[in-house]
Amino acid sequence: METNEKQFVQEITPMEVDFPQWYTDVIKKTDLVDYSPVKGFMVIKPYGYALWEEIQRDMDRRFKETGHKNCYFPLLIPESLLNKEKEHVEGFAPEVAWVTHGGSERLAERLCVRPTSETIICSMYAKWLNSYRDLPFLYNQWCSVVRWEKSTRPFLRTSEFLWQEGHTIHETYEEAQEETLRMLQVYKASAEELMAIPVVVGQKSDREKFAGAHATYTMEALMHDGKALQAGTSHNLGQHFTKAFDINFQGRTGEIEFPYQTSWGVSTRLIGGIIMVHGDNRGLVLPPRMAPIQAVIIPIAQNKGGVLEEAEKIHNELKNLGIRVETDADTTNTVGWKFNEYEMKGVPVRIEIGPRDIKKSQVMVARRDTLEKEAVPIENLGLHIAKLLDDIHDNMFEKAKKMRDEKTYTIDNYDDFKKKMKESPGFMKAMWCGDRECEEAIKEETGATIRCIPFEQEKISDVCPFCGKKAKHMVYLARAY
């Protein structure tokens, strides 16, 4: 087995030199997105959208397995609805886009382009709910939202993005809390089993929680550059919205009660996470289970008799096993160019077949994650590739976990914290007093935020290293996207 160390891609800035430029170069060179005429709004091209489709397909299956149904709510929300929950509207006010005219006529009431859908959905739930027998409502919608961002970057932070938002209501607080945590685990399973991204799960601090939530829970991933990415959140909204929107029902005792609500969402920023967790200086490295092309067949000397015929047989064998496979028999580009192109696009497996290979009843198989290349018998090749794809997924997950663990530091001294954040950023595990003033001071001085209070707690010390007060929680801190 050999490893191909040759560097083909000259147009991609090395991540060690300039990580933000590396990210931009990878996205542009691999044709994932393009910039639209409206600043901050991206066009997702077919290769990029195919990644979203795989995320959507995987999560939609998981949602339905847990009893959720899809529906759709309007894009525009009357200002009066948005104003019904004060904390919520204050949280989103700076990012709201407003519609003021319909045609040439000024609207009697401004309409906001949804930044999230709690308010419009609550107005409908108030109409639909009558009795405890109607509960729970387990609904989800796939849509886009608009948040007028000042600084944007494709996938990570754009003024419009695609996402799903689940909105459920329940008879009791306990049922809502169970739902909130269940959906966080659904997200975690998809991140790890589809995207090969290890995540830390826990609760957000009160300062970082969703506007209007009783409690927010999150999964946090660590990128190559040591910054964190909030990869998905799940919120227990308590009765904040149900009371504000007068969503009530006749309870089991005949009394009128207010249900308990949850909301949860992930978005296309997950694609940015996949790029920054797995990518390298050659470009994308895509997890096999979500790669639009899982294997590409490259015929060598395809003008020679039997090469294309054998490539077609292999193509059909893989396709029949459910493997997403393409054969590149285009004669416009050289074989070397094709190797470079599919490596850059992150295709997990490349299969090379030429006259010499046919004589030996073999093909050459290259894997994108390790760049290793080996000769594999043509007989039962499909089963070999299927197993290889699973091996690549497992290797990518372990590699990402190793990277995260190596960039996770245990801190018990504020000076050490500041030094680490400056010299080798990553996840910082530290004790925290629980005070908002302390949390805000950390962010102001270092740019780092509390990413979560993890479910798996450790006792590092008895005091908060940031202010000296008695510690309440172990937290993960990092600078974040």
Are residues 273 and 326 located together in one domain of the fold? no
Are residues 398 and 415 located together in one domain of the fold? no
Are residues 388 and 315 located together in one domain of the fold? yes
Tell me, yes or no, whether 3 lies in a domain. Answer: no
Tell me, yes or no, whether 344 lies in a domain. Answer: yes
Q: Report how far apart, in Å, the C-alpha atoms of 264 and of each of 37, 72, 167, 213, 217 are.
A: 31, 15, 7, 11, 9
Tell me, yes or no, whether 289 lies in a domain. Answer: no
Query: Strand ranges (DSSP E) for 346-444?
Result: 349-353, 362-367, 372-377, 408-410, 427-432
Q: How far is CA 354 from the centre of its chain?
A: 39
Into how many domains does the chain fold? 3
Tell me, yes or no, whether 1 lies in a domain. Answer: no
Are residues 332 and 431 located together in one domain of the fold? no
Tell me, yes or no, whether 7 lies in a domain. Answer: no
| Longest CA span, the chain | 82
Tell me, yes or no, whether 14 lies in a domain. Answer: no
SS3 95: helix
Are residues 246 and 154 located together in one domain of the fold? yes
The residue among 404, 432, 448 that closes a domain is 404
Are residues 391 and 427 located together in one domain of the fold? no
Gyration radius (Cα) of the chain, Å: 25
As a whole number of angstroms, the distance between CA 316 and CA 318 comes to 5
Residue with tokens 């891609």: 9
Are residues 221 and 367 located together in one domain of the fold? no
As a whole number of angstroms, the distance between CA 466 and CA 479 comes to 16
Which of 300, 296, 285 is closest to 345 using CA atoms? 285
Tell me, yes or no, whether 283 lies in a domain. Answer: no
Domain of 322, CATH number, reads 3.40.50.800
Domain of 134, CATH number, reads 3.30.930.10
Residue ranges making up the domain that contains 351: 295-404
SS3 224: coil
The residue among 404, 421, 451 that closes a domain is 404
The residue among 340, 370, 404 that closes a domain is 404
Which of 282, 290, 234, 262 is closest to 169 using CA atoms? 262
pTM: predicted TM-score of the whole model, two decimal places: 0.94
Is 263 within 8 Å of 118 (Cβ atoms)?
yes
**Residues, the chain:** 481
Q: Report how far apart, in Å, the C-alpha atoms of 323 and of each of 42, 71, 295, 352, 391 are.
A: 30, 31, 7, 17, 15
Strands 105-113 and 97-102: antiparallel
Are residues 156 and 208 located together in one domain of the fold? yes
Are residues 130 and 213 located together in one domain of the fold? yes
Predicted pLDDT at 173: 98
Predicted pLDDT at 2: 53
Are residues 210 and 135 located together in one domain of the fold? yes
Domain of 450, CATH number, reads 3.30.110.30
**Average confidence (pLDDT) per 10 residues, the chain, 481 residues:** 53 95 97 95 97 98 98 96 78 89 96 94 97 98 94 94 98 98 98 98 96 94 98 97 96 97 98 98 98 98 91 98 97 95 98 96 98 97 98 98 98 96 97 97 97 97 97 98 95
Tell me, yes or no, whether 6 lies in a domain. Answer: no
Are residues 360 and 400 located together in one domain of the fold? yes
Are residues 107 and 190 located together in one domain of the fold? yes
